[in-house]
Amino acid sequence: MYKTLSINQDTYQKLDAIAARLDKPKAQVIDELVKGQMEEMKEEEKRKLEAFNAFADNLARQVKMPAGTKVSTDDIDKDFIYLKDIDY
């Protein structure tokens, strides 16, 4: 499906130059650029998640509980409802 897209003249000229250099239609160039950007975003999210998991794992390893302590996760949603989202 095709949609109309308004871009400024300078951007259109650059797109036209890229398409001419690659010998591809402008629509295909745009599709490839968008696909590449989406892949980069997914990789960035993956790196952030891995960094967060490493951070959380490090914190978990630092926790020392007294012998005989029991931890229940039965009502974990209720217990942590007040925590705010944090961007790592």
**pLDDT recorded at residue 34:** 96
pLDDT (tens digit, 9 = 90+) per residue, 54-75? Answer: 999 999 888 888 888 887 788 8
Per-residue pLDDT tens digits for 6-56: 999 999 999 999 999 999 999 999 999 999 999 999 999 999 999 999 999
| End-to-end Cα distance, the chain | 38
DSSP helix/strand/coil, 48: helix
Question: Taking the model in full, what pTM does it have?
Answer: 0.60
Q: What sign results for the dihedral spanned by CA atoms 6, 10, 13, 17?
A: negative
How far is the C-alpha of 54 from the C-alpha of 48, rounded, in Å? 10
Instruction: Domain ranges for the chain, please list them.
Output: 9-65
